Amino acid sequence: MLPLHDDQPTKEKPVITILLMVLCVAVFVWQVTLQDSQVRDLFYGLGVVPALLLGPLQLPPEKHIVHPIITLFSSMFLHGGWFHVLGNMLYLWIFGNNVEDAMGHRRFLLFYFTCGAIAGLTQCITTPDSTIPMVGASGAVAGTLGAYLLLHPRARILTFIFLGIFWTFIRLPAVVVLGGWIVIQTLNGMGATGPASGVAWMAHVGGFAAGFLLVGVFKRRSAPFFWQARARR
């Protein structure tokens, strides 16, 4: 199930959403120019390493780039592959623009980084001994999904459905698309044996929960919950 577009118009241009997308893609394009060893050092220096943030692990001085706390933010701009970055940017574009519209530019930026940091901490708390770097905007993007679910649960999401040889496009309520998404993340997180699974499932869960709980703090008073305003065709 892949969301492609929603029917919620925005009143303002989502400049922060666009800026975040441009930065993430630009950083990844730069990553592609690096050698594998350089990318590995970059991930350990700027990615979130649970054992480094919460445990006794220390990087060699020549590998150290920023304080481990800073990696909760720097890791959001690094990605592990084209599908990783493009998938995150697709979700950010579909759902982030409406959340930014409800919060305003500065509040949305603070909300985005807050959700991303909470997502990283959630993964660290659940896998404190892991020495595998965690990178990607997924946790912060998950926060926008949690906020969107409260802001526009009845919005219609154009979704691509693929089941074996059967595929179709269908418009589904946001509560179905995002509710299904967080259920899958939670089940995978409960079944994962750790970050060796390749996906920081609990970071997704933590980011989503943060967005769901904090949207009321960051949104404008004039922005209602459960709003549905169909775009004109």
Contact 84, 103 (CB under 8 A): no
**In this predicted model, what pLDDT tens digit does every residue of 175-193 receive, in sequence order?**
999 999 999 999 988 876 4
For the cut 90, the answer to whether the pLDDT of residue 195 exceeds it is: no
Alpha-carbon distance of 155 to 197, in angstroms, equals 33
| CA-based end-to-end distance of the chain | 24
**In this predicted model, what pLDDT tens digit does every residue of 203-218 receive, in sequence order?**
999 999 999 999 999 9
For the cut 80, the answer to whether the pLDDT of residue 77 exceeds it is: yes
**In this predicted model, what pLDDT tens digit does every residue of 88-147 receive, in sequence order?**
999 999 999 999 999 999 999 999 999 999 999 999 999 888 889 999 999 999 999 999
* Helices 105-126, 138-151: crossing angle, 10 deg rounding: 120
Domain boundaries, the chain: 2-218
Q: Does the domain spanning 2-218 belong to CATH 1.20.1540.10?
A: yes
Per-residue confidence (pLDDT) for residue 229, from 0 to 100: 57
- The Cβ of residue 35 has, within 10 Å, a number of other Cβ atoms equal to 8
Within 13 Å, how many C-alpha atoms sit on residue 128's CB side? 4
